[in-house]
Homo-oligomer: A and B are copies of this chain.
């Protein structure tokens, strides 16, 4: 039995999408047990309406307060102790038998709470975010880190590479992930000091898995399975891809309405345009995982629907079954001299 917490508040369609998504996952995975945090009454009502009647597969912890994007992350942790997210983090911290948490709530608060309250995997300095994007060749690509760490040290980028590639392998079945280092050109001497040093470190440590420097324009090309980035440029990368694609599709839609001829032609392409939009919608590819925390943390998009939530839960299940965190710890122990691991700076406890 794998136990996961589902935070039912904080998304656009919460608690509905969160509860129904969890029930979907419960039906599809016999070895899954869910702890819901949120408004007990609302959760019960949704479960009843949905006709799920196996009371031995879930429990509910009443925590009706919600953290929003307006809450300062550290204030939220301190002042909203009874919120569905902070209570979930507390239960996760205190219960050895619970594997992880799926939330569609405020990202900043989740990062802060997970970093401060849940320990890290041995050997990891800082947890990192790894969202998944679609490639133009029908595959996917991970981006690690996409914004949890702003001022990075080269050795952190090596950690991101190790965590991200093991994640792509064990959660998505990509046997030998090709790792690219986000940089301003493909030549080895490109970039600022951080990326020049990171290049040397990745080349020396990763062997053939390291596919060298990668330019932002190649992210969606299908040539890479993982883009390794400092949190600043990784965040710029992901948001720019998303924004450019959505704005271009919006412009095309706008331009279609400018001429009757275009409107006529577009009638035949309606389904295709819908598919392009769905293609670029990255909640279809799963949640953004926090890698490096001692327990599994999956952050679903705020706009997640029922299916997206159930996919986030599936992701957490696969991560737990593949023992991803132990594999990360093993790999980092091989790569990094033990002495370096004492040089930690986030005050978190270490697990695994």
Residues of A that sit less than 8 Å from B by CB: 136, 147, 150-151, 182, 184, 191-193, 195, 215-221, 231-233, 235-237, 239-252, 255-256, 259, 261-262, 264-269, 272, 275-276, 279-280
Contacts and interface: CB of A to CB of B under 8 A. Distances in A.
Given A184-B235, A236-B216, A261-B268, A276 B247 contact: no
Given A136-B250, A151-B192, A184-B239, 19 more contacts: A150-B184, A184-B232, A184-B235, A192-B231, A216-B235, A216-B236, A217-B240, A217-B242, A217-B243, A217-B247, A219-B243, A220-B243, A240-B244, A244-B244, A244-B248, A248-B249, A255-B272, A256-B269, A256-B272
Given A219-B243, A239-B215, A195 B232 contact: yes
20 contacts: A136-B247, A150-B184, A150-B191, A215-B243, A216-B236, A216-B237, A217-B244, A218-B243, A219-B243, A219-B244, A220-B247, A233-B236, A240-B240, A241-B244, A244-B245, A244-B248, A252-B276, A255-B272, A262-B272, A266-B269
A150 B259 CA distance: 45
Contact of A240 (B136, B191, B219, B248): B219
A275 B237 CA distance: 26
Contacts of A248: 136, 244-245, 248-249, 276, 280
Chain B CB within 10 Å, residue with most, of A182, A241, A275, A279: A241
